[in-house]
Structure 1
């Protein structure tokens, strides 16, 4: 991660800045077959406040301490689940996504968890391939717990194609390696 950025917990007031980051990051889907995602509404302030109350929000801030990226996580099937990871495209390709994942992994390890799971697209380079380079591996349907399966089914019900989605898992120790 470049030195002009810091990963930290947000203040409650900063939560209101996160939907704009999500909207900007969603624009990256426009040239893909999932362009419809760019029109989806971002997380609500109520949703973000829930993650905040669970201690499940991290932000990447620039030199002016303005949030430019964020991660949301919660506990699913007894392990850390990365619900969302967004970096404003103007600040992309600077290690912020990886830095946010490492912060979530460090928190999870401190809480006594061993793994992190997520759901992502299997056919977009900055999704599954990005996570695979960090140490995530694809899960079979049989390896997914009931809560992760329910989240995946919710994604499909919302319009995401089942064949394009993949559940992934990594050991927190692996994610904390440099």
Structure 2
């Protein structure tokens, strides 16, 4: 049984380990296997996202985090920074439940959209988000904020032709 709840400050320390575990799934894709050993979001950054009210936890029966979604409000948009589920808990609907909660919160706040950047063809990336109604933004649709994020990702070794910005329109 998983419960989706707002993250609390004492959850922050557990989140990098969940991100690390989730990243192990990339070992199944030879050209992206290096991501399994990549850097994780810092505990300090998690504290900041939690304090801003943009982080939700998928907690197990003992209230331990098994997954999380971190996001931030950028103008009239909720931007998803990270969605991770521990490798041993993947394919159980936890990521879906976290995303549904974040989208519901964005609607409640009256935001216009939810955005994110992700891999175009990795099954648990863009194809997963398309099932929720997200669409890939093309060229002129990509605003300066998203273009900057994609550029930063390219600077960290993620090929631009493999990445995309996606948006779910709420209005």
Q: What TM-score results when the alignment is normalised by the length of structure 2? A: 0.95
Q: Deviation of residue 140 (structure 1)? A: 0.6
Task: Return the offset for 1:160.
Answer: 0.5
Runs of 5+ unmatched residues, structure 2: none
**Residue of structure 2 aligned with 1:52, choices 50, 53, 61:** 50
Pair 1:166-2:164 in alignment:
yes
Structure-2 residue corresponding to 1:30: 27
Q: For residues 165 and 124 of structure 2, what CA distance do their matches in structure 1 show?
A: 15
Q: Of 82, 85, 91, which residue of structure 2 is paired with 1:84? A: 82
Q: Specify which of 117, 123, 126 is matched with residue 125 of structure 1.
A: 123
Quote the residue 2:63 is aligned against: 65
Superimposed CA distance per residue, residues 8-50 of structure 1 (whole angstroms, 9 cap, x where no aligned partner)? 0122111100111000000000121111111112111111111
Matches of 1:145 and 1:47 in 2, distance apart? 24
CA distance in 2: counterparts of 1:101 and 1:108, whole angstroms: 11
Count of aligned positions: 170
Q: Aligned-pair distance for 1:64?
A: 1.3
1:140 matched to 2:135:
no
SS in 2 for 1:118: strand
What is the Cα-based RMSD across aligned positions, in Å?
Answer: 1.2
- Normalising by structure 1, report the TM-score: 0.91
Distance 1:30 1:108 in 2: 33
Gaps in structure 1 of 5+ consecutive residues: 174-178
Native 8 Å contact 2:117 2:165 kept in 1: yes
Deviation at 1:77, TM superposition (A): 5.0
